[in-house]
Amino acid sequence: MSTLVIVGAQWGDEAKGKIVDVLGNQATYVVRYSGGNNAGHTVITGGKTFKFHLLPAGILHKNTLSILAGGMAICPKALLEEIDRTREQQADLGELRISPSAHVVFPYHRLLDQLEESARGNNKIGTTSRGIGPMYTDKVQRIGIRMGEFVKPELFKKRLAEVLEFKNRLITLLGGEPVKIESLLEEYLGYAAKLAPYVSDTESVLQEAVRRDERVLFEGAQGTFLDLDHGTYPYVTSSHPTTGGACLGTGIGPRDIHNALGVCKAYTTRVGEGPFPTEQDNAVGQQIREQGHEYGTTTGRPRRCGWLDLVALRHSARINSLSGLIITRLDVLAGIPELEVCTAYDMGSGPVNYIPSTPCEWETVQAQYQTLAGWDEDISGARKWEDLPKTTQDYVRFIEEFTGVPAAILSIGPDREETIVLRPELIWG
């Protein structure tokens, strides 16, 4: 029982970075399997704050091999800057390896991200503008450039010439300035040379690690309801942040995923547009935003805040085969006398037992709530279950019972130490 997926169980930003940091030093491999620098993971440790967008949080552990797997979208410039920045903060990092199958994000993807968002008008998605959607579009269109090609200069030049001609036609159509191949090549050949030493096969490394029963931690980015298939389409990202995505993105088979822990906040947040039935666009939402410093790590945008949506969380537990929950940011709810939790969706004719699949259905959803008692105390000093107020314990128990998934870990502050491990057996099995 050696593989563990840490998956975002809501709309992203569930504090997965902290959790991966806490568990990363127990793993030999930490693997990012989907998305790119649209993600933002914050790790606070030893008085330092690390902000990761591409590097797995495991990079801070020197005996861990960090892997950027084939399912990822990698911006070379952002990755190199992140490596340098992290090295300035901590001299000895763990080893890094990049899959030759991972796709490369280029400036024309970022340009298209902006042009396409403008063209959407009122239907914009609120993307992070990092070019991730246009890059995955190229992947599906079978014109993407993979890392394995990018680091071979002659091959890269040839592929770029083919692709850019095609992309520039689209850019011009959308009113943008065509991208010049000469300056792009000059800049990106330099990045390719710097990244080349990191690029080599990762599938076999991971498959062998699983056979040897070594611990592999798959670090999810974004969250379940941003999944291209299972999220609130079309307000989703373009990859698969779910547990299934860990198989697709790495080449590990489904039966080799032993444990999946779903990270969820004690409330709900979302950045960008799209359905959010429990959103509180009012004083409570504002209180949660300020107490939880709910501003995006990647874009700095204020996050939309609301009550915990247990209907969505239960669905997420099923999609991801969750073996346990990691409930984060319980401390943020302190001082709110009554906490609402959504226990049913009503779409006009009584509660429904499914999750809508179209925006017009989502618009009709009325969240039905149950009220639970809150707590006033600052709980960030708690280090074991018994240290928590009874009302916090009841809140956690209610989540477990409703979702049918036991809590493995509680997080009650941003620091590594501000963590309560309730059921260690759920982590590695």
Q: For ligand IMP, which residue of 42, 237, 243, 392 counts as binding (CB under 6 A)? A: 237
Residues 261-320 that bind ligand IMP (CB under 6 A): 271-272
Report long-range pairs for 281-290 (Cβ below 8 Å, ≥24 apart). Answer: 284/336, 287/335, 287/336, 288/332, 288/333, 288/336
Shortest distance in whole angstroms from residue 147 CB to ligand IMP: 20
What Cα–Cα distance (Å) separates residue 183 from each residue in 6, 186, 424? 40, 5, 52
First to last CA, the chain: 6
Q: Is 43 in the site for ligand IMP (CB under 6 A)?
A: no
Q: Is 74 in the site for ligand IMP (CB under 6 A)?
A: no
**Among residues 14 and 331, whose Cβ is nearest to ligand IMP?**
14
Q: Is 251 in the site for ligand IMP (CB under 6 A)?
A: no
Sign of the C-alpha dihedral computed for residues 125, 292, 368 and 320 taken in this order: positive
∠ CA(101), CA(196), CA(63), 5° rounding?
Answer: 85
Q: For ligand IMP, which residue of 103, 109, 130, 314 counts as binding (CB under 6 A)? A: 130
Q: Which residue lies nearest ligand IMP, judged by its C-beta?
A: 272
Shortest distance in whole angstroms from residue 70 CB to ligand IMP: 18
Shortest distance in whole angstroms from residue 208 CB to ligand IMP: 30
Place of tokens 């960090």: 66
Shortest distance in whole angstroms from residue 373 CB to ligand IMP: 30
Shortest distance in whole angstroms from residue 222 CB to ligand IMP: 4
Stretch that binds ligand IMP, among 21-29, 220-228, 385-393, 398-406 (CB under 6 A): 220-228
Q: Is 112 in the site for ligand IMP (CB under 6 A)?
A: no
Distance CA(81)–CA(201), nearest Å, equals 23
Active site residue 41: yes
Q: Catalytic residue positions?
A: 13, 41
- The binding site for ligand IMP (CB under 6 A) comprises 12-13, 38-40, 125-128, 130, 132-133, 221-222, 226, 235, 237-238, 271-272
